[in-house]
Structure 1
Amino acid sequence: MAMDTVLLALGHEDEERLESITDTVVDLAAPGESTVVLGHVFTWEEYDDVKEKLDISKDAEVTPDDVAAKYNTVRTVAGLLAEAGVDYEIRGAVGEYGHEIVDLAEEETADLVVVGGRKRSPTGKAVFGSTAQEVMLNAPCPVTFVRSD
Structure 2
Amino acid sequence: MDRGLVVVDHTESHRELLTEAAEHAAGADAELVLLTTMTEAEYEEKARDLETIGSVENVTYSSGEILDGVAARTREFAAGALGDVSTEVVARVADDGDLANAVITTAEDHDCDHVFLLGRRRSPTGKAVFGDVAQQVVLNFDGFVTVSTQ
d(CA) in 2 for partners of 1:31, 1:65: 31
Partner of 1:40: 36
- Does the 8 Å contact 1:41/1:101 carry over to 2? no
d(CA) in 2 for partners of 1:133, 1:117: 8
In the TM superposition, 1:121-132 aligns within 5 A as: 123-124=123-124, 127=127, 130-132=132-134
d(CA) in 2 for partners of 1:24, 1:42: 23
Tell me which protein shows more helix as a share of its residues.
2
1:114 to 2:110 alignment: no
- Does the 8 Å contact 1:18/1:77 carry over to 2? no
1:27 to 2:26 alignment: no
d(CA) in 2 for partners of 1:102, 1:134: 9
Between the aligned residues of both structures, percent identity stands at 26
- Does the 8 Å contact 2:14/2:118 carry over to 1? no
RMSD: 2.8
1:8-49 deviations in Å (ceiling 9; x for gaps): 0124xx613033202220221027932110101222112223
Letter aligned with residue 61 of structure 1: S
Letter aligned with residue 6 of structure 1: G
- The CA deviation at 1:57 is 3.3
d(CA) in 2 for partners of 1:102, 1:92: 14
d(CA) in 2 for partners of 1:93, 1:147: 23
d(CA) in 2 for partners of 1:70, 1:33: 24
1:79 to 2:73 alignment: no
Moved more, 91-100 or 62-71: 62-71
Partner of 2:62: 61
Unaligned runs of 5+ in 2: 53-59
Partner of 1:92: 91
- The CA deviation at 1:87 is 1.1
- Does the 8 Å contact 2:22/2:81 carry over to 1? no
Report how many aligned residue pairs link the two structures. 137
TM-score (norm 1): 0.75
Partner of 1:17: 13
Unaligned runs of 5+ in 1: none
In the TM superposition, 1:127-142 aligns within 5 A as: 127=127, 130-142=132-144
1:43-91 deviations in Å (ceiling 9; x for gaps): 2112223455xx53386224264133233x553123321xx21111100
